[in-house]
Structure 1
């Protein structure tokens, strides 16, 4: 299969529209004729698989890593370090790929990820592992965002939803298979193999990407990279994310270290906004967030992953503490949620290709999600089939929104800014996941401290959760275990109600979303009638 020639923008003569222009006026982007699309997609899906797998494969073996490296007090940072680093650099990769070309930037990201994986596998102390995970996150942040931007280079907008559905499928499979693969590797070989396995996968992705993308433009326009803006953005956002991560681990918001991180983060981002307004070629064009479609889609994606990542963490804990399930059973009970997401994304992509519209799909997903989360608050976690049904509805709702929001964003900007726009959507998703876990875990810890189950004297948030877990699962002291389960269920119910209330923002925003026909569809020169 080869790419079709670029679609001719009707009544616009092919001129690139400014970022604030109507979505229907921006020209379509497509690769030069002769690019092997399926070969490109295969290489990009390998890169996306690497990034998605690394976010889920580590969690299950953390206790064993902490035991061998003698670092229980900092083991949570093995995950947080990767998450913070990858979130911070995602928009920067998008801008650089617009300036320097997708092939060179994606090659750098894969190579850095490969070398960092080698450092992770060879780490002898916990600080060494955390530092290597930071480097791995700096590479991983570019795998997904640049890959999705590259899909925009080789697939016309009308067909793009279908391919984004494939991407969502890879993501869901990696999220579901990651803990299983990690558990088996750690059990039969060593925890180090969860990093060694990245080496052949990274080398294969590197070879395929280099070969498949050689026909794409290498970034021909003159540019001045806004290094100061990138530094201020990375530093400021890192301060805020580390502050939120500390809250999620039970640290006090008024602690001197927490306040210093918060102040540094706010100051860094304030200086970043000042720098971007004066920069000739800003790292993140602030005017892009003034485009209603871009702004609304980024917020809805933030809320989607706020719910998704938090539910992926909290639901297994609820199944174990309240429902009495074992760890392996609790993980398997998440399968309906993880499988429903790519199925919803596949439906969304097909419907977009057929209708050329994205708003109805986003609206349906935004309306169903809060209802499903509300239902989870009142469904008994021991009722397997009813929980599976509600989780499937939530997964479908999220899946409908993922490709439709991404394609709508790419449709709203000129091709020269597709990379940074795509990176903004990836950044919104990752930021939503980081904030969701931190905020909801902090609320859960606070609810448990005030529940009267005897954990108020424990200082660390992880100590609170571990104490609740062990007391609920303990065979001894049935009366105490029952009291812990009851207090935990009330805390989870309150948490889900708050989460459902937060997700109610999405339908109100999507209702105000302007819709234009996707480029390459019939009537693409005119806005779609509401």
Structure 2
């Protein structure tokens, strides 16, 4: 903890009552606005609650990826199916910068607890939904709470630990984030095959109430002194509109609408105008949501660029690899999720080990460089997958990819937090996560668009020859495919196809995804080049 404020020249002699009074006032003001609460936290208990909410918020992004067909079958509304994921993603992305700035202004404790409450309300509403519209509304509420939970949990760690010891805690959180990315599809498949998809929402109710109780009782944080009247409402509006248009554009483009359609072009124009308006508004606001001054910091610019690219590659692979495994290797949804465990193991072990090494040595610059080099190598290796690749080799490739992510993911957040004072940690952390989420949304949508486009081209080029080799039976299958296309294919239906047609389908899915993974290799190398000039600053050993 920093030493008390010393009177500057001209303040007066400390022997006078007025000078001593001014000194006490200065010290009290500093304690209330800059310093965190005295270290009386039950840190293991607090950290357990933070990890639990981090897990809940990140699980929400992926848990329904394997349950959507069942949800649509029960609630109807197939035309709105994508919104079950998109609504959560949109509101979560919007909630991140709001949480960071509000936490810096008014304090994080009740903002964090309130975010958990909003998440529980959304989970309850979605869990009892009897229509697709109500489920989507519940998911949107849930996502907004998740954005507050994710940013607040990372920023609170910055309040209760020093930068030096923070590495090990952020490493564990990085492992939790990786765990949820893999565990989401597994749990979604397990709930769908077992007690029902609604339990993917209902499980958040007791967990959220437990986390709220623990944090209410034991969490003691600083209280901000900035009035909410200075909150950047106009900046929040422009960021929300721009983010929504960007996610809609990348979600709909190439799937529901052609990239050259008026709808997508209009959204693209709105994104460009929104970015320009946001820059103007944020540069003039008294308390900007994403201060332009943050990007005058060299490390902030470099880590944000690398984080955006990392989010694109990570979510691009994780979003479609379960589908690849189901269609090419005819695995069930649960089995496909379980195949991602090597990636989870590599990420968790590496992220945790790197965190402890940083806490011990105080050095961190080498880890993102090593991690992005491994990530690029793993992506290159995965781009050479074929329909004949064994599951054992796939597991090893996923393990290497997870190790690469573990070296870099949370270290970038640590670098950002160490570059700013405590009063800006929430805002800086939120900005960094915001751009990672944007990268993730771009990755999931763009990879999906290219994947589907490549797959359809492969099917159109090779299916006619397969039908011709089968004679009359092939003509019947040709009529069926002409009527329903590839949209009706499932892992079970693919395994039941005749050998010539099945081979074409398997290779179409394989050759549809692997070229897109190859495109991510230069992106990972670009992120590597971005982290090379990062300046390694001394990790702070006081909470200030």
TM-score (norm 2): 0.85
Match of 1:230 in 2: 236
1: distance between equivalents of 2:285 and 2:390?
57
Q: CA deviation at 1:433?
A: 1.4
Matches within 5 A, 1:180-191: 180-191=186-197
Match of 1:351 in 2: 357
Q: CA deviation at 1:464?
A: 6.8
Match of 1:24 in 2: none
Q: Taking structure 1 as reference, are residues 46 and 325 closer, same or farther at Cα in structure 2, changes over 3 Å only?
A: closer
Match of 1:17 in 2: none
**Structure 2 unaligned runs (5+)?**
6-33, 465-477, 479-483
Q: CA deviation at 1:154?
A: 0.3
Match of 1:494 in 2: 515
2: distance between equivalents of 1:247 and 1:268?
19
Q: Taking structure 1 as reference, are residues 31 and 362 closer, same or farther at Cα in structure 2, changes over 3 Å only?
A: farther
Q: Is the 8 A contact 1:86 1:137 kept in 2?
A: yes
Which 4+ stretches in 1 moved above 6 angstroms?
454-457
Q: CA deviation at 1:250?
A: 4.6
Which among 426, 446, 452 is matched to residue 439 of structure 1?
A: 446
Matches within 5 A, 1:241-256: 241-247=247-253, 249-256=255-262
2:146 aligned with 1:140 = yes
Q: Secondary structure at the match of 2:346?
A: helix
Which among 434, 443, 456 is matched to residue 449 of structure 1?
A: 456
Match of 2:471 in 1: none
Q: Secondary structure at the match of 1:217?
A: coil
Matches within 5 A, 1:331-350: 331-350=337-356
Q: Taking structure 1 as reference, are residues 298 and 82 closer, same or farther at Cα in structure 2, changes over 3 Å only?
A: same
2: distance between equivalents of 1:185 and 1:322?
23
2:426 aligned with 1:425 = no
2: distance between equivalents of 1:250 and 1:229?
30
2:302 aligned with 1:296 = yes
Which among 287, 291, 301 is matched to residue 281 of structure 1?
A: 287
2: distance between equivalents of 1:326 and 1:132?
28
Q: Secondary structure at the match of 2:460?
A: coil
Q: Secondary structure at the match of 1:112?
A: helix
Q: CA deviation at 1:48?
A: 1.0
Match of 1:115 in 2: 121
Match of 2:212 in 1: 206
2: distance between equivalents of 1:391 and 1:337?
5
2: distance between equivalents of 1:193 and 1:323?
28
2: distance between equivalents of 1:431 and 1:465?
30
Match of 1:217 in 2: 222
Q: Secondary structure at the match of 1:358?
A: coil
2:391 aligned with 1:384 = yes
Match of 1:14 in 2: none
Q: Taking structure 1 as reference, are residues 226 and 465 closer, same or farther at Cα in structure 2, changes over 3 Å only?
A: farther
Q: CA deviation at 1:347?
A: 1.8
2:412 aligned with 1:400 = no
1: distance between equivalents of 2:126 and 2:418?
39
Q: CA deviation at 1:221?
A: 3.7
1: distance between equivalents of 2:320 and 2:534?
31
Q: CA deviation at 1:478?
A: 1.8
Q: Is the 8 A contact 2:386 2:510 kept in 1?
A: no
Q: CA deviation at 1:362?
A: 0.8
Match of 2:418 in 1: 411
Q: CA deviation at 1:287?
A: 1.3
1: distance between equivalents of 2:376 and 2:137?
38
Aligned residue pair count: 495
Q: CA deviation at 1:6?
A: 5.2
2:523 aligned with 1:516 = no
2:175 aligned with 1:169 = yes
Matches within 5 A, 1:76-91: 76-91=82-97
Q: Is the 8 A contact 1:250 1:445 kept in 2?
A: no
1: distance between equivalents of 2:513 and 2:145?
35
2: distance between equivalents of 1:252 and 1:85?
25
Q: CA deviation at 1:241?
A: 0.9
1: distance between equivalents of 2:422 and 2:134?
41
**Structure 1 unaligned runs (5+)?**
10-27, 458-462, 522-530
Q: CA deviation at 1:190?
A: 3.1
TM-score (norm 1): 0.87
1: distance between equivalents of 2:442 and 2:530?
20
